[in-house]
């Protein structure tokens, strides 16, 4: 039964072009290595655990001291007056409607404004501190910067970066280089770690969108490695990492309260996102996978699936750029980058809102990974 299911999942008729078998890829010529999925998975899963552990050390030993140097304190949130009635309702509904407020006001003999303030402060107790968000962003910024530099160093001397038709000549019998293998293993391990940490990181309103993004990314990385579509795959990953660097840098400037630097980095991020995700990705990479591959090797069953997933990512890019554009429009009229539309963060009192509103630059992530828009914290990405 196991063999039958495995043969059905990895059907050669589905995953490979006509007249190509898995045996052909398992027996490369002397001195040539083709990708083997089991080799990558054997390294990627343990490395994902290592990435999570390394991230904990990085945030504690590097990011947190940097936050203290920048005077970004963890800060204990204001505590609410203990109240069993309100706490019981809060566990099922963190934002009561007007009818519930009126009922609570009569039951407790409190003013509605006092009840509303209790819920506002109680919600803030569950919010992550600015230092925590700074540490998360510094980790992602470091990873994206390092992996992008590594990818560019490899792709710059690769002929398929300058002529995408080279991705399909002699496909799938293209040799695997150590740089391609390292890049794929690192990216897959990172996105698996994001899948886990997404449930413990700062929660965003686009949680489900990022979950879809991470799943699509992991699936694309896995199947593109399995059927040796590495040349196009490295281009896709490199393009996605480029703008994330500036987003995370802008978020770091936001948390450190460097307003002008934050605004400048947000502009750079917006431009880089537009160029990489809405110009280079669809008109250079997706075009190559969709049309050039059709001309050189012809379509096969997995070809439709891969192009479908790439188009799903493109739809997500359009959604995120819409959110970025909304922030940019607000920035034009208000003179600064405004509050992130995805943010769940709110001030404890009306006075806090008015006093902090003139100082904070808040925008948004597009990760991970991704990648998603919000400088006030993120899911990443990627």
Average pLDDT over residues 68-95: 79
Pairing label, strands 371-374, 364-367:
antiparallel
Predicted TM-score (pTM) of the model is 0.77
Which H or E run includes 371?
A: strand 371-374
- Residues 179 and 154 sit within 8 Å (Cβ to Cβ): yes
* Domain ranges (residues) in the chain: 32-70+130-334, 84-126
Higher pLDDT, 360 or 107: 107
- Residues 3 and 9 sit within 8 Å (Cβ to Cβ): no
Give the pLDDT confidence score for residue 59 in this predicted structure.
Answer: 93
**Tokens 């409190």 — which residue?**
110
> How far apart are alpha carbons 216 and 371 in whole angstroms?
12
Give the pLDDT confidence score for residue 346 in this predicted structure.
Answer: 37
The model's confidence at residue 162, banded by pLDDT at 50, 70 and 90, is very high
Give the pLDDT confidence score for residue 351 in this predicted structure.
Answer: 34
Q: Is 377 left (phi over 0), alpha (psi -120 to 50) or beta?
A: left
- 174-178, 249-253, 261-265, 336-340: which has the minimum mean pLDDT? 336-340
Return phi, psi of residue 262, to 5°: -60, -45
The model's confidence at residue 332, banded by pLDDT at 50, 70 and 90, is low
The DSSP secondary structure of 217-261, one letter per residue, reads HHHHHHHHHHTT-HHHHHHHHHHHHHHHHHHHHHHHHHHTT-HHH
The model's confidence at residue 382, banded by pLDDT at 50, 70 and 90, is very low
| CATH class assigned to 84-126 | mainly alpha
Query: How do residues 271-308 score in pLDDT, each as one tens digit?
Result: 999 999 999 999 999 999 999 999 999 998 889 988 98
Give the pLDDT confidence score for residue 350 in this predicted structure.
Answer: 36
The model's confidence at residue 379, banded by pLDDT at 50, 70 and 90, is very low
* Start-to-end Cα distance in the chain: 37
What is the 8-class DSSP label of residue 167? Answer: G
- Alpha-carbon torsion 346, 351, 355, 358, what sign? positive
The model's confidence at residue 231, banded by pLDDT at 50, 70 and 90, is very high
Rg (CA), the chain: 24
Give the pLDDT confidence score for residue 31 in this predicted structure.
Answer: 85
- Percent of the chain whose pLDDT exceeds 90: 41
Give the pLDDT confidence score for residue 342 in this predicted structure.
Answer: 42
Give the pLDDT confidence score for residue 343 in this predicted structure.
Answer: 42
Look at the chain and count its residues: 382
Q: Give the pair of three-digit tokens for residue 244.
A: 């994330």
Average pLDDT over residues 146-158: 95
Give the pLDDT confidence score for residue 215 in this predicted structure.
Answer: 84
């Amino acid at each position: 039964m196991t063999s039958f299911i495995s043969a059905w999942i990895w059907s050669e008729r589905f995953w490979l072009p006509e007249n190509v078998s898995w045996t052909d890829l398992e027996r490369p010529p002397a001195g040539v290595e083709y990708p083997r999925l089991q080799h990558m998975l054997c390294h990627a899963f343990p490395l994902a655990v290592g990435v999570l552990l390394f991230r904990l050390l990085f945030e504690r030993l590097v990011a947190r001291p940097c936050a203290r140097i920048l005077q970004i304190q963890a800060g204990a949130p204001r505590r609410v007056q203990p109240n069993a009635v309100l706490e019981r309702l809060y566990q099922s509904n963190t934002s009561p409607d007007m009818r519930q407020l009126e009922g609570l006001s009569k039951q407790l003999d409190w003013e509605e404004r006092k009840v509303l303030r209790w819920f506002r402060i109680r919600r803030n107790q569950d919010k992550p501190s600015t230092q925590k968000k700074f540490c998360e962003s510094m980790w992602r910024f470091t990873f994206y910067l390092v992996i992008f530099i590594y990818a560019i160093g490899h792709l710059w001397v690769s002929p398929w970066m300058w002529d995408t038709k080279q991705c399909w000549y002699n496909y799938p019998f293209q040799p695997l280089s150590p740089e391609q293998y390292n890049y794929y293993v690192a990216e897959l391990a990172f996105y698996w770690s994001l899948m886990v940490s997404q449930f413990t990181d700062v929660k965003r309103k686009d949680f489900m969108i990022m979950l879809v993004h991470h799943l699509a990314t992991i699936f694309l990385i896995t199947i593109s490695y399995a059927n040796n579509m590495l040349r196009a795959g490295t281009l896709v990953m490199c393009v996605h990492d480029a703008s994330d660097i500036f987003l995370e840098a802008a978020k770091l400037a936001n948390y450190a309260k460097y307003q002008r630097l934050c605004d400048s980095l947000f502009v750079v991020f917006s431009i880089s996102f537009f160029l990489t995700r809405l110009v280079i990705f669809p008109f250079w990479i997706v075009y190559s996978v969709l049309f050039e591959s059709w001309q050189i090797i012809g379509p096969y069953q997995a070809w439709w699936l891969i192009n479908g997933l790439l188009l799903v990512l493109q739809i997500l890019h359009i959604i995120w750029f819409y959110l970025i554009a909304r922030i940019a429009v607000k920035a034009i009229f208000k003179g600064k980058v405004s509050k992130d539309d995805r943010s769940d963060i709110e001030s404890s009192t009306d006075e806090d809102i008015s006093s902090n509103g003139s100082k904070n630059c808040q925008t948004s992530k597009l990760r991970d990974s991704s990648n998603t828009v919000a400088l006030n914290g993120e899911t990443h990405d990627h």
